[in-house]
Amino acid sequence: MERMTGFDASLLYLETAQQMLVVGGILVVDVSDQGSAYSFERLRTELARRVKEIPAFRRKIYDSVLNLGHPAWVEECDLDVTRHVRRVDVEPPGDDDAVFEMCGRLSSRPLDRSRPLWEMWVLEGLATPDTVAVFFRAHHALLDGTSAAAVLRKLGGAGTTPSARDLDPVRVHAGGANPIGLVAGGLWDFSVRRPLTLARLVPEAAMLPWRLRRATATRRSGGNAAEAVEDGGDAAQTTPIPGAAPFTAPRTRFNATITPHRAVRGTSLDLTEMKEVKNAFGVTVNDVFLTVVGGGLRRYLRFHDDLPEKPLVAVVPVSTRGDEGTQGNNRVTVLFASLGTDIQDPLERLRAVARRTRRGKRRARGGMRPGLIQDVATLAPSGALSLVMRLYGDLHLADLHPVVHNLSVSNFPGPRKTPDFLGARVTHMYPLGPLMHGSGLSVTAMSLGDRLDVGINACEHLVPDPGLIATGLRESMERLLELTRETAAGAGDAGATVSTPPGSTTTEEG
Which active-site residues does the annotation give? Answer: 140
The residue count of the chain comes to 510
- The β-bridge relationship of strands 72-75 and 85-89 is unpaired
d(Cα 127, Cα 89) in Å, to the nearest integer? 11
Question: Do 24 and 264 meet the contact criterion of CB atoms below 8 Å apart?
Answer: no
The single-letter code of the amino acid at 198 is L
Question: Do 486 and 220 meet the contact criterion of CB atoms below 8 Å apart?
Answer: no
Question: Do 403 and 249 meet the contact criterion of CB atoms below 8 Å apart?
Answer: yes
DSSP assignments along 224-271, one per residue: HHHHHHHTTS-GGG----PPP-TT-BPP-TT-S---S-EEEEEEEEEH
d(Cα 360, Cα 220) in Å, to the nearest integer? 19
- The β-bridge relationship of strands 441-448 and 407-412 is parallel
Query: Which stretches of 383-440 are assigned E, i.e. beta strand?
Result: 407-412, 420-421, 424-432
Could you report how far apart the first and last alpha carbons of the chain are, in Å?
Answer: 55
Question: Do 29 and 425 meet the contact criterion of CB atoms below 8 Å apart?
Answer: yes
Backbone angles phi, psi at 458, to 5 degrees: -145, 155
> Of 240, 192, 37, whose CA–CA distance to 129 is shortest?
37
Strands lying side by side in the sheet with 424-432: 85-89, 118-124, 131-139, 22-30, 424-432, 420-421
d(Cα 76, Cα 430) in Å, to the nearest integer? 29
Question: Do 277 and 288 meet the contact criterion of CB atoms below 8 Å apart?
Answer: yes
Q: For the chain, give me the number of helices (H) and strands (E)?
A: 14, 15
d(Cα 435, Cα 439) in Å, to the nearest integer? 6
